[in-house]
Copies of this chain bind each other. A is one copy, B any other.
């Protein structure tokens, strides 16, 4: 139950039902953002946009999809960020400019947005929202370049930080990923149709085959008419640093991310966790849903039986009317309910994916104890989270990350666990097949190490 990701993207070209397939793709990516959704489609008449706050299933009606004709589309599902005019921050963004209509949506976060924006404003540009997508569109539009494609390259060269983006124009669907490849972006096909998605689970739903990732620093251009798909690497080559947290928490377990099975990685994390932090116990219990795979791995390695000692209510929606009176642990219990008959009298290994502020972990430990657990041994399937993310994940400021100001012992006391064990960074690297040596390998572990691949300007 950690950080919140900022979005999922899906795009498709040469598909008669482009907007409907994009709708389905976003449906499969709904876990990446529940605040807003949008689709921009293109036909011979231009681009068509529909976006609004809400779940994908609520934002799009039959009528809304019918108003998004054409054989190419891009879409976005978005997590809430604080403040501002929320409605105006939904993606995709669509501009009318010197390249005609251009639409863009992205997953990630530029680290030099404010610098770029200030410069663009000084040059006379205006913005309708604080979104860095608008900054990218402005850079494209004002690039000293004759073609849209070169203009995109120019813009991407100025952008720093994390971006996995999709651009739809009157002529092409373009996908691009920042040089470090912080955020995922997969590419697939079915017949002549080409698609891009934050995760492969969206391909599974629409019956497409995953081919490969858009590579860090790569720009893939899919012409909307005739013509070959073109790949370019116009950005400086640096060591790739894809976000490891996608594997720890964000991605759906049935997805391949960076070409690896999320579920397999998580199970391996649990297994190594059991090796490093064994404990005598009766039951391995995951915090659902994100701790499940690691808990299975822990159970397998340790031989301690696994069971769902905590059940999640999947009907909990975005809105909920709180009782006026105080109900003990209500905030946690509305989502999670301990199974007393499994837990009573047991020594429990409680497996979660991560600890952020520590307050939720504390409540869950309390809840498990109230349900009768004799001992609660907390195991976390990643290293202590000590630093904020600047590459597209909505983390608290550093001073609110419990591991940034408390020792392991203090955290153990705070969350009221009998013992607490985190996965070692070394082990995490092992799980990710990362030997930390050769060029091209490696992941971004900045939230554990503070070693930021790109220094944040803003």
Contacts and interface: CB of A to CB of B under 8 A. Distances in A.
B20 A311 contact: no
Interface in A184-230: 201, 204-207
A309 to B, nearest CB: 9
Given A311-B253, A321-B62, A124 B96 contact: no
Contacts of A94: 85, 128
A251 to B, nearest CB: 11
B95 A124 contact: no
A252 to B, nearest CB: 6
Interface string A79-96: 000000100100001111
Copies in the complex: 4
Main secondary structure of the interface of A (DSSP, over half): mixed
A257 to B, nearest CB: 12
Interface range, A side: 35 or more
Contact of A49 (B88, B205, B317, B339): B88
Interface in A292-326: 292-293, 296, 300, 305-308, 311, 313-317, 319-321, 323-325
Contacts of A253: 308, 311, 339
Interface in A54-81: 55-57, 60-62, 65
A125 interface: yes
Interface string A10-38: 00000011001101100110110010000
Contact of A23 (B85, B93, B321): B321
Given A128-B128, A263-B342, 14 more contacts: A30-B315, A57-B320, A61-B321, A98-B124, A124-B124, A125-B125, A201-B311, A204-B333, A205-B334, A254-B337, A261-B342, A263-B307, A263-B341, A293-B308
